[in-house]
Amino acid sequence: MLKKLVVGPYQANCYILGCKETKEGLVIDPGDEVFRIIKEISRNGLKILYILITHGHIDHTGGAGELKRITKAPLLIHALDAPGLNFRPDGHLYHDQKIYLGNYIISVIHTPGHSPGGVSFHSPGAIFTGDTLFAGSIGRTD
């Protein structure tokens, strides 16, 4: 299960991934509108195992603390972008790390440029790039 929500004033993409068999899920880049995110999680009956952040900019992290508080899921971000958070992450992401979600394996790819700790997440058939790539463009470099 994959659901994209466009959230916040900057219209950032937030993704909810879920395994239909195990009902395990994760959220990528909860930038805002946590109520909408929670509603979608509940609608699909998911238990959130992780909150993953592609990079530390506010449009991708703005709702992360509240979502973490509500779901009790650990939040992971690359160490180079962690200082931008207003709370401590539960762990750090690194290149070639594997994240297991039900029957899926998500690979972490360090993609610095838009931010020093930018990462992308790859799962067969999908890649989640944060602001590393835009439709028809690339993200600015910081």
Q: Does the pLDDT of residue 118 top 90, yes or no?
A: yes
The whole-number pLDDT of residue 80 equals 98
Mean pLDDT of the chain: 95
Name all domains of the chain by residue range, CATH numbers in brackets: 2-138 (3.60.15.10)
Q: Does the pLDDT of residue 137 top 90, yes or no?
A: no
For residue 47, what is the DSSP state?
E
Could you tell me the sign of the dihedral formed by the alpha carbons of 93, 61, 133, 48, in that order?
positive
Q: Identify whether the C-beta of residue 110 lies closer than 8 Å to the C-beta of residue 78.
A: yes
Task: Report d(CA 101, CA 127) in Å as an integer.
Answer: 15
Q: What is the pLDDT of residues 67-101, one digit of tens each?
A: 999 999 999 999 999 999 999 999 999 999 999 99
Q: Average pLDDT in the 101-123 region?
A: 96
The whole-number pLDDT of residue 132 equals 85
Q: What percent of the chain has pLDDT over 90?
A: 89
